[in-house]
Structure 1
Amino acid sequence: MAYDRPWKSFQEQLSLLIERGMQVGDESAALEYLEHVGYYRLSAYWYPFRVFETAGNDQHDRPITQATDQFVPDTQFIDAVRLYLFDKELRLRLTDALERIEIALRVDIAYLLGESDAFAHLHRATFHPSFARRKSCRDPRDSFEKWQERCEGMERRSKEDFVKHYRKKHGSRLPIWVAVETWDFGTLSQLFAMMKVPDQIRIALKYGIQDWKVFQSWLRSLNYLRNVCAHHSRLWNRNVIDQPRLPKQGEVPWCDEFRDAKRLARPFLLLSIVRHMALMVCPETEWHRRLQAHLEVFPVPHSRRGLALEDTGAPPGWERWWV
């Protein structure tokens, strides 16, 4: 299929938005945002303000809606900008907490596995056979082999002075407490998924989670969240496809607020998991209070299409248990 959309100047982009019904109070400021942030990135934040029409029904006879090019009445360019700035600050605050959580998990895993063998991560026997030997249909390598290759690549590419020093003094093989510092969150999450169940339980309990499967899903979700933040992607109303599991009813009281399927698929649950983990890592932290202060200034749009924090999946009365 041939691509038929021509290049447009920033002024032409702005004119197109105005033509489609967007109000622009300060054209010079709007042009600056188009020049420095970009039409495509900002389009994710004015998308909720577009007019939606019904385009038939699905196989279950539910209406299918699709966005038109027009904006609902009273939509202003500043509405999208404020959403963008809110989302940017949200990602920055989450990145701070995710760094603390990742570092703490590195220590937890390296300390636990390193106690029995400094090079535990290099041995297949360290891991649960059924998890480590899993294969995808088109890849002859199993999970352990793919994970090993990923780790070796990260260690090889590391420019950290401590890695160079260790290799010069002790040789090429890195003990787990050194190697773990070269891994990213995804590699750490994959290692946890392969660990033997008693080891998974020990670490999960440290974070107040009794079910290791729940905790495993939380780490996978935190890695997803970290990637969203690292790539500066839209977060505030993102639909989370790979959803984290919830503990049994009553085990972690705040989790019971997310039994609704719609809230389970929205990002506020991920924010709440970060809050839980951050408090476990540092009970005296004020990070969650700072995040709450940011969430409470969710931008109110001029547009007749009302948006609110509830669109992130925040349950009613979330402030009661957040602090």
Structure 2
Amino acid sequence: MLYNKQPYTISDQIKQLQQRGLQIDDDALATHYLSQVSYYRLAGYWWPMQADKEAHLFKPNSRFEDVIHLYNFDRELRVLLFDVIEKIEISLRTKLIYHLSHEFDPWWFQNTAIFNDTSALVETLASIQEEVNRSKDIFIKEHKRKYKEDLRFPPAWKTLELTSFGSLSKLYGNLNNTVKSKDIIAVELGAVNHTYLPSWLQSIAQIRNYCAHHSRLWNKNLPGTPKLLSKPPHLWVNDVPKDTQKLYLHFCIMRYLLNIIAPENSFSKKLQELLKKYPSVDPNALGFKPNWEGEALWTM
């Protein structure tokens, strides 16, 4: 079968949504949003409102205004998480640079002997090389000018300042388990040892990518399964989420790390304020537990 549908005008899009049962009380509002936010981007937010996913028929009392509330909630959530993840990223970068450079040398990230998977390391280094080549930072330009005969990467404290969170998490996860710094970093971030932290970083890096590319987070099933500590050394939740694909578990991990990295953080307050701002948003779609805000993890 060949796809033969033709593009709809915004007016036609509105009529189709109304015919399918979506309540649109303000055509001007719908026209504004559909002209600024694409139909299929908004479709991710009205999809759960449909009773018949094949015929795209909406459940009774489905409203376009609620779709917009979900969209705006999700946008503000990504902004909040980006701020949280930035602190985690900078802390991880700092610890990798410091501990590995002292345990080995400033070019440890090129040392194949301390990594498990050489092929994966080569791929990571290729990404890092692209980041270094694209850089317009003065410290990189000066390094290349002053040390033009040195064909290695700039040392870790220069190179890794340009490296993405995804590449940083891959470097850490790929380190041999015999590398002392791998456990030291895990302990400093409250993860006890190298067993747990890699999966936390991988999930956070994935969420960061969603935020960076403005992808929907609300009601999204996340890939991967973070490994959870049986007896965390710092405040954790009593009601541990079982659903690893929902965001709430990942929020808890971020909060756990953030309470160590930035103890005076306002993540809990801002998250609660965001949910109050959009009361039509169902916290269950994000995996929130009842009375989650009363857990010790979120009250300190």
The answer to whether residue 282 in structure 2 is matched with residue 308 in structure 1 is yes
Consecutive aligned runs of 4 or more in structure 1 exceeding 6 Å deviation: none
Aligned equivalent of 1:174, options 145, 151, 154: 154
Q: Percent identity?
A: 32
Map 1:146-161 to 2 at 5 A.
Answer: 146-161=123-138
CA contact (8 A) 1:246 1:255 kept: no
CA contact (8 A) 1:121 1:176 kept: yes
Relative distance call for 1:234 and 1:312 in structure 2 (3 A) is same
Shift, 1:220, TM fit: 0.3
Relative distance call for 1:107 and 1:258 in structure 2 (3 A) is same
Distance 2:241 2:249 in 1: 10
The answer to whether residue 296 in structure 2 is matched with residue 319 in structure 1 is no
- Aligned residue pairs: how many? 291
Paired AA for residue 193 in structure 1: G
Give the structure 1 partner of residue 64 of structure 2: 77
CA contact (8 A) 1:83 1:299 kept: no
The answer to whether residue 117 in structure 2 is matched with residue 132 in structure 1 is yes
Relative distance call for 1:296 and 1:214 in structure 2 (3 A) is farther
Cα RMSD (Å) of the superposition? 1.8
Distance 2:154 2:44 in 1: 43
Shift, 1:243, TM fit: 2.2
Distance 1:143 1:250 in 2: 30
- TM-score of the superposition, structure 2-length normalised? 0.91
Q: Which whole-Å deviations, capped at 9, do the CAs of 1:207-254 have from their partners, x for residues lacking one? A: 111142211000000100000111111102111121212112565663
Shift, 1:155, TM fit: 1.2
Distance 2:99 2:31 in 1: 54
Give the structure 2 partner of residue 91 of structure 1: 78
Paired AA for residue 28 in structure 1: A
Relative distance call for 1:274 and 1:165 in structure 2 (3 A) is same
- TM-score of the superposition, structure 1-length normalised? 0.85
Q: Which secondary structure does the structure 1 equivalent of 2:56 belong to? A: strand
Q: Which secondary structure does the structure 1 equivalent of 2:6 belong to? A: coil
Structure 1 spans left out of the alignment, 5+ residues: 53-65, 134-141, 301-306
Shift, 1:170, TM fit: 3.0
Q: Which whole-Å deviations, capped at 9, do the CAs of 1:33-61 have from their partners, x for residues lacking one? A: 00001111111111111004xxxxxxxxx
Map 1:1-323 to 2 at 5 A.
Answer: 1-52=1-52, 68-115=55-102, 116-125=104-113, 127-128=114-115, 131-133=116-118, 142-171=119-148, 172=151, 173-197=153-177, 198-249=180-231, 254-255=236-237, 257-260=239-242, 263-300=243-280, 308-321=282-295, 322-323=298-299
CA contact (8 A) 2:236 2:256 kept: no
Distance 1:187 1:217 in 2: 14
CA contact (8 A) 1:42 1:80 kept: yes
CA contact (8 A) 1:82 1:299 kept: no
CA contact (8 A) 2:190 2:232 kept: no
Paired AA for residue 90 in structure 1: L
Paired AA for residue 60 in structure 2: P
Distance 1:206 1:159 in 2: 33
